[in-house]
Structure 1
Amino acid sequence: MTNAEAYDRGFAHLSSHTVGPLLASACRGRAPHLLDVGCGTGVVTAAALALGAEVTAVDADPAMLELAARRHPYATIRLAALPELPFEDAQFDAIAGNFIINHVPDATEALRELHRVLRPGGALALTWWKSGEMTATDVFAEAIAAAEVPYDPPPRPFTAHETPQRFTGLLGGAGFGEAAVETVRWRHQVDLASWWTDVVQAGGARFEVIARQPPQVVERIRGHYLRLAAPYERDGFPVCAYLARATRP
């Protein structure tokens, strides 16, 4: 299994819970020309195509794009990353970004670029995780700590902007209007052993440290993970995200 396939089985499934409300905010009942920014393996692209939208999807990971292109031949797939997009001004009717704004190096510049490529009157919808309420992934960090493995998690520059008040301020500063943020909560129900495999194989900046360990250390971390995750096996991991919507005046 490739990293992209592991991501698709794991994180993409986790993030799919917000796709419906994300597109409801971006599309507003229409079938627009939509930019799926940070498309990953294409969960938003698939749902937007099903709604009749014309979809252009971009991501910085070639393996993710290869998988998305194979699955969604009717979408336009491009290699690109914020804050520099290879599009003309005001090219899109709507923009949807599912858990990408929290990964960009500069949220302010990213929002300005999204404003540039969105047409006047167009809609923007973005999601990001709420810190402290991401049990489905926090359990891995807790397991690493319990196994006493040295771990220096990567910095999260978006943390400074993640509250609804601060993010609506960023949207306004980038030129957007009608900005609003809502909270979305759900339970992520998953087989615990499969979730471990998919997250560890997908790696990424936060959890690639696990796969780098000797086999006996990996098993020690896994044992702590199973212990810590066990209380959520029946009802699922509680997860929380924010959904922002705005328009370009």
Structure 2
Amino acid sequence: MISATEAFDAAERKMWDGRAEAYAASFARLCAHPAEALLDAAGVAEGTYVLDTGTGTGTAAVAARARGARVRAVDADAGMVAVARERGIDAQVATLPELPFPDGEFDAVVGNFVLNHVGRPRAALTELRRVLRPGGRLAVTLWAGGGKAGMELLGRACEAAGSVPPAYLPRLDPAEDFARTPEGLAGLLADAGFTAAEGTTLGWEHRATVEEWWGGAAAGVATIGLIVTSQAPETVVRIRQEYDRLSAEFTDGDGGLRLPHVALLGRGTA
């Protein structure tokens, strides 16, 4: 029988397969917001040898390269790796918690919203510590629990439309879960052997058009995309109607959306 962790990882791989372009056109700008703070937390500067894990379309890797860092990158999805390579990043396919690098290879390791997508976050962090040199720095981001009204907009639309989440949504084994708070993230890093572990909260207002924000979900991107695209066509129509109605809460004077988001930033030393 497949374990909860294996089921989670399999669902995550299926979720992102073939959706690199749709992600780049929708939620990628949102996830790019913490990139500079992430690199600051990891001490990435000119000459730093840095690994970007879960690079996606390469946003953090490109930002690190702009600082003069030497950059390698990995992602579990081949489509994401292809996009990162098109942007000039030395990227390859690899899936946490197994990385194709020797012990102590990097000065810094970053992971921008990657811990949300692994079935064994502690094992993943232990592997990231393995490839860091002694004294090397790690920085990661992930979505916080609660307080993210912008992210909840699409979920509220699904609920109001009477949608039913599919049974195959990724569900983390409770034994692997942790509190999505600064203290919970710091504790997770400490469990994986990092010293001076700490977590902080990042809040910002994401600007998007109504169609851009809807487009990611309609294309099946991320968990909300799995929910939307698993519904009957008439339910999808109702979700869109509810989304348009609820979007009025976040519309600015120019007709765009202002969407509040909250994430966690964790750092630690190997």
Aligned counterpart, 1:86: 100
Aligned counterpart, 1:193: 211
Aligned partners of 2:44 and 2:67 also within 8 Å: no
Q: Which runs of 5+ in 2 are unaligned?
A: 1-17
Matched, 1:51 2:73: no
How many angstroms apart in 1 are the aligned matches of 2:100 and 2:194? 21
Aligned counterpart, 1:170: 188
The residue identity in structure 1 corresponding to 2:250 is Y
* CA-to-aligned-CA distance 1:114-170 (integer Å, 9 cap, x gap): 110000111100001112223333221211111112125542456524222222222
Q: Partner of 1:162: helix, strand, or coil?
A: coil
How many angstroms apart in 1 are the aligned matches of 2:181 and 2:216? 29
Aligned partners of 1:181 and 1:244 also within 8 Å: yes
Aligned counterpart, 1:6: 22
Aligned counterpart, 1:110: 124
* CA-to-aligned-CA distance 1:174-197 (integer Å, 9 cap, x gap): 221111111110001110122101
Instruction: Please list, as runs of the form range in 1=range in 2, the aligned pairs for 1:146-157 lying within 5 A after superposition.
Output: 146-152=160-166, 154-157=170-173
The residue identity in structure 2 corresponding to 1:149 is S
Aligned counterpart, 1:120: 134
Which of 78, 95, 111 in structure 2 is aligned with 1:97? 111
Aligned counterpart, 1:39: 55
Large movers: runs of 4+ above 4 Å: 156-159
**C-alpha RMSD of matched pairs (Å):** 1.8
How many angstroms apart in 1 are the aligned matches of 2:94 and 2:47? 23
Which of 222, 227, 233 in structure 2 is aligned with 1:204? 222
* CA-to-aligned-CA distance 1:3-45 (integer Å, 9 cap, x gap): 2111012221001110010011113544311000000001101
How many angstroms apart in 2 are the aligned matches of 1:219 and 1:116? 48
Aligned counterpart, 1:184: 202
* CA-to-aligned-CA distance 1:176-229 (integer Å, 9 cap, x gap): 111111111000111012210123214234422312334332111011011112
Q: Which runs of 5+ in 1 are unaligned?
A: none
How many angstroms apart in 1 are the aligned matches of 2:229 and 2:237? 10
Q: Partner of 2:72: helix, strand, or coil?
A: strand
Aligned partners of 1:100 and 1:128 also within 8 Å: yes
How many angstroms apart in 1 are the aligned matches of 2:246 and 2:170? 22
Matched, 1:220 2:238: yes
Aligned partners of 2:217 and 2:228 also within 8 Å: no
The residue identity in structure 2 corresponding to 1:150 is V
Matched, 1:243 2:265: yes
Aligned partners of 1:6 and 1:199 also within 8 Å: no
Q: Partner of 2:178: helix, strand, or coil?
A: helix
How many angstroms apart in 1 are the aligned matches of 2:212 and 2:197? 38
Aligned partners of 1:99 and 1:126 also within 8 Å: yes
- Say how many residue pairs are matched: 245
Aligned partners of 2:55 and 2:61 also within 8 Å: yes
The residue identity in structure 1 corresponding to 2:267 is R
Aligned counterpart, 2:8: none
Aligned partners of 1:39 and 1:57 also within 8 Å: yes
Matched, 1:22 2:38: yes
The residue identity in structure 1 corresponding to 2:230 is R
